[in-house]
Amino acid sequence: MSTKKITVTVNGTSHSVEVEPRLLLVHFIRENLNLTGTHIGCDTSNCGACTVLLNGRSVKSCTVFAVQANGKNIKTIEGMAEGGALHPLQEGFKEEHGLQCGFCTPGMIMRCADLLERNPNPTEEEIRWGISGNLCRCTGYNNIVKAVQYAAKKMQEAEAVPA
């Protein structure tokens, strides 16, 4: 099978790699870049464990070919923390007990990052609707909602602080 050279920026680092046209983005991230925080849960786009940000929008990376990401920016869970400090969503999931087994957590956090980018102060209903495409088998979602509310508040407080 022929290959195609793609160039993507993942968590701020550019990568130029030859890939097979049928390689899914989730497999490219995990196998070619060794970023295993992006989980493979179902391979059918139902669970959302593989969610990443592609040019700032959350996508289930099991539904995207790596070649479709050519020239684009990808952010994975490994790129969320900055300067050794957890992202407010990561902190929220920790503080509000938004995870149990942790399998869905990376994809859930990436989906929530997109949600908060588009709606910095979502209601509980908007959060529940926003995460409805990502499944969690352990938590019952209540603490995930609290984690997102925690992060939203913390992010708003950070923006309100004068520089």
* Domain 4-79 listed as CATH 3.10.20.30: yes
Mean pLDDT over each residue of the chain, to the nearest integer: 96
Residue 163: pLDDT band (50, 70, 90) is low
Indicate the pTM of the whole model.
Answer: 0.95
Which stretches within the chain are classed as H helix?
Answer: 25-27, 88-95, 105-118, 124-130, 142-160
**Where in the chain do CATH 1.10.150.120 domains reside?**
88-157
**Where in the chain do CATH 3.10.20.30 domains reside?**
4-79
Q: Which CATH class is domain 88-157?
A: mainly alpha
Average pLDDT on 67-88 reads 97
Each residue's pLDDT tens digit, 56-71: 999 999 999 999 999 9
Each residue's pLDDT tens digit, 95-116: 999 999 999 999 999 999 999 9
The pLDDT of residue 14 is above 70: yes
Each residue's pLDDT tens digit, 109-151: 999 999 999 999 999 999 999 999 999 999 899 999 999 999 9
| Token couple for 6 | 């793609």
